[in-house]
Amino acid sequence: MKERKDHKPGNNKFDPSDNSGKYTAGQLFTTLCVITILIVGLVCCKSDNHLSLSSADQDLVNTVAYDLNILVDYENENIEATCGLTVENRFQHPVSRLPLVLYRLMRVTSVEDEQGRQLDFSQQVVSYEDWEKFQANFIEVNLKSPIQPGARATLKIAYSGYLGGYTETGLSYVRDSINRNFTIIRPDCLAYPQVGVPSWSANRVAGLQTFDYTIRVTVPYSLTVANGGRLIERLASEQQVTYVYKNILPAWRIDVAIADYNLLEEPGLGLRVFYFKGDEAGARRVLEAMNNCLELYAKWFGPRAVKTEFSVIALPEGYGSQSDVTSILQTRDAFLNPEKLVQLYHELSHLWNVKSLDPLPPRFESEGLAMFLQYVAREELEGRPGDLEAAARRTFESLKKRCRENPRLLEVPMIDYGQEQLTDYSYTYGMLFFYVLSKVAGQEAVLQAVRSIYQSFYQTGATARQFLENLQNRLGLNLEAFYQSWVFSTEAIRDICGLSSLEDLVEKYAPAARP
């Protein structure tokens, strides 16, 4: 679903078929401004400790659990927090040093191990080695007892500080701050410690982490804390309230939104909508659309393997819509504008994605498919025949322009988009892949094939190549030449760049996919 952290924070969702030229979750903008590098002295460390900034020297252990306690101090516009972080050593050698990244205006004050022993650590604000304008507090913790192969360890990390976003880096949607009107605590702004180094490429190689979490967030009594997990308890006093949430399914991110929310829910269906006051009509529309869309996808793909609660959480415009396994962060314009419900259909389709087994998935089999399905769903749910065709035409024209602006699209085949950090284009080029395939094989046949793949692989997961192989088998077509042109070479993207119309593209590739 899911939005996956396989490139710079926020999993930039890019839909050139939208006339606004932007989609969800923070498309990178080109306007960048220069900021002052904040240098923080080393603390709580011995004089012979040094920062090992070379990503090659770091062992990125797996994150398996968080126990996060956060007090939001609006008077001082900062947070005070403790983070219980449990990691597992996936290597064949002991690990004695743990690298972490945290937001640049936050400082770690202490680190303890499971025995309560204080651990030495170093911290310094640094630029990422492959993205100079992105800065973080890089922390290295020296463990008294190395983590043995296959073993786990839990650290208790105390930290505090401020949030100021990352808009100056080009991540225009990461405008996070501590503000009574709206506060969000999420990994895009590194608002809690994460295993990693100041290198996007090194963190990507480590792969996507899934974990369990418990979060306790204390805020003034007048505010509500929203999260995609299950609310365990709400502990209220005269002045403050603490919300305790636990994840429902293994998660890959923790999102905490804080505002003066209202809540609309369908307890029998496990559906919830957190919305801003005055937006009730839009929230009811979202709740109804969510229910109808889930029913439609269940009809197409069969029941979800795991039925679970699901939440939609409103964000102000500009903060970027995103999804996790049991929630969607949806910008307010999607609540107010029925045209934006297509974003909801996109995110909900991810609930039927097969888990990728690729270390750096190309994502056309998830995001490209979701882009295709969002328009097919809108045609069905909103009675809009021709919506998919119109979206494919806009996407075709947009990609013609993009492939001229970005020569790498003519050099890198789609199967390598994950490795080459081109997954923004998995949404659009991937959508055209499924659109052209549906023209050849028939839309109903493609939906049935996706259903079969989900039913076969939801427990084990699949690689992109396995997905393609099974798609071919279910369709009963010889797709070898088709795949070679669209997925394993750049022939099709070159044709998009050179052909005059979408119809010409479909006509060229129809014979390649026939039995």
User: Residue written as tokens 């269940």?
Assistant: 298
**Does residue 43 contact residue 107 with C-beta atoms inside 8 Å?**
yes
Domain annotation covers residue 440: yes
DSSP state of 439: H
Backbone angles phi, psi at 314, to 5 degrees: -75, 140
**Any domain includes 278:** no
**Cα Rg of the chain, angstroms:** 23
Phi-psi region of 167 (alpha: psi -120 to 50; beta: other; left: phi over 0): alpha
pLDDT at res. 12? 39
- In this structure, is residue 320 part of a structural domain? no
261 within a domain of the structure (yes/no): no
Give residue 57's pLDDT.
Answer: 53
- On whether residue 471 sits in a domain, the answer given is yes
For residue 204, the model assigns a pLDDT of 82
Which one of 209, 236, 260 terminates a domain?
A: 209
Burial class (CB in 10 A: 0-12, 13-18, 19+), 259: buried
> Measured between alpha carbons, how far is residue 399 from residues 343, 405, 502 in Å?
20, 10, 11
In a domain, 157, yes or no: yes
Low-confidence ranges of the chain (pLDDT < 70): 1-58, 511-515
**For the domain that residue 445 is a member of, what is the CATH number?**
1.10.390
In a domain, 283, yes or no: no
Query: Which of 175, 209, 243 is a domain's end point?
Result: 209
pLDDT in tens, 126-163: 999 999 999 999 999 999 999 999 999 999 999 999 99
- Within a domain: 357: no
Q: How many domains does the chain have?
A: 2
Q: Tell me the CATH number at 38.
A: 2.60.40
Residue where a domain terminates, one of 152, 182, 209: 209
- Residue range of the domain that includes 456: 364-513
Q: Tell me the pLDDT tens digit for each residue of 49-93.
A: 344 444 445 679 999 999 999 999 999 999 999 999 999 999 999
Q: Say what the pTM is.
A: 0.81
